[in-house]
Amino acid sequence: MTAATTPSKSGKLSLIIAIAVFTAALVILLMTAGLGNATQTPEARVPVAVSTGTVKIQSGFETPINVFGLIESPRATSLSFDMAGQVNTLLVEEGDVVSKGDVLARQDIQRLNARKRELQASLERANADLELARVNSERTTSLVEKKLESAQRLDETKASLNVAKAQVSEMQAALESLNVEIEKTTLISPFDGVVNRRFIDEGSVVSAGTPVFGVTSIEKYQARFAVPADVVEQFGVNESVLVKVGDIEVTGTVTQRLPVRNVQTRTIDILVTLNSNESVRPGDMAILSGFRSHSETGSWLPVNALSNGLRGLWRVFVLSNEQNATLEARVVEVVYTDGNNAFVRGALKDGEVYVSEGTHKLAPGQMVSIPSQHQAGAR
């Protein structure tokens, strides 16, 4: 029994030693892992290089505005005939320059000319009748004076003379009226200008008042703008302004600011007379630039300095001090942004140093390093 017991004790001892060795190895492994992690922590605390700017608090700010308007001619009109008829002649085309008094179109006047010949013939007959009545009246007067004719006969000849005179006057009036109608068959430019529109084709039959041509004056064009009432004071009468039309810019002068405000749009119309008509034409869209003043107190920051905070708010990272250079998060409200810079208000102080970019990679309490000189802030 003694010989059998000795090997059993030896096996147990070996098992205990193996377990102890395994346990020691496991403890050493865990300690080694812990030390490895501990050696990485200082690396996480290595300051991150950041770009910075300085907060500049200001009271109020201005934002640019664009007011849209249209180019128009000081004088523009649609020309039409005063009576119905067929337009048989068009003498100008769109884009033609015309002078005051130029003939632009004519209507067919064959019917009117025929009527005129009839009236002229009737007038000649009426004049002949008048001459005969005058001769008879003179002859009768002479006979009455010689007592060779009765006074009643004299009255009759005088009445005939008056009737003949009336017929002549009636024919003359009818002929004058017809001449006026004939004159109206000629369309004349009322001022120097440019034909900007042709409404009909040659040979068209038109009613009285149907537009035939549109004519605009060649005087300096003007631009009409409906300016918001809260910014209209910056556009004073006789002040020089810059108007953008397409890809070009034209200088002009504010010549009129209407005193009546549109209660629906809360705008006031102003008229700007352009210094040149070159490369612009009536109907073109024009842009007048100005600014709007705001009373809020805050600071301009680059939009890259903003990062999303809790509950949809914006935050800005500022340096707690330039020696330790740890970050603090400040919640701000964006009042206005132009896409590159933002005017913000909130828990910022004048002169504080903020991180100007890369804020999405940062966190409060993080250590950072800054260059020897940092930028002075947006704008």
* Spatial distance between the Cα atoms of 19 and 237, rounded to a whole number of angstroms: 101
Confidence of residue 13 (pLDDT cuts 50, 70, 90): low
Collapsing DSSP states into helix, strand and coil, what is residue 18? helix
Instruction: Read off the pLDDT band of 158 (50, 70, 90).
Output: confident
Q: Which pLDDT belongs to residue 270?
A: 95
pLDDT at 94: 93
- The pLDDT assigned to 5 comes to 44
- CA count, 13 A, side-chain hemisphere, 373: 2
Q: What is the pLDDT of residues 186-200, one digit of tens each?
A: 999 999 999 989 999
The pLDDT, as a whole number, for residue 35 is 41
- Give the pLDDT band of residue 33 (cuts 50, 70, 90): very low
Helix axes 110-145 and 151-183, enclosed angle (nearest 10): 160
pLDDT single digits (tens) 207-226: 999 999 999 888 899 999 99
Residues pairing with 289 in the sheet: 66
State how far the alpha carbon of 334 is from the alpha carbons of 1, 306, 341, 359, in Å: 93, 9, 10, 16
Residue 183 scores a pLDDT above 70:
yes
The answer to whether the CB of 180 falls within 8 A of the CB of 193 is: no
Decide if pLDDT at 37 tops 50: no
Higher pLDDT, 166 or 17: 166
User: 286-344: per-residue pLDDT in tens?
Assistant: 999 999 999 999 999 999 999 887 666 899 999 987 666 889 999 999 999 998 999 99
Percent of the chain with pLDDT over 70: 84
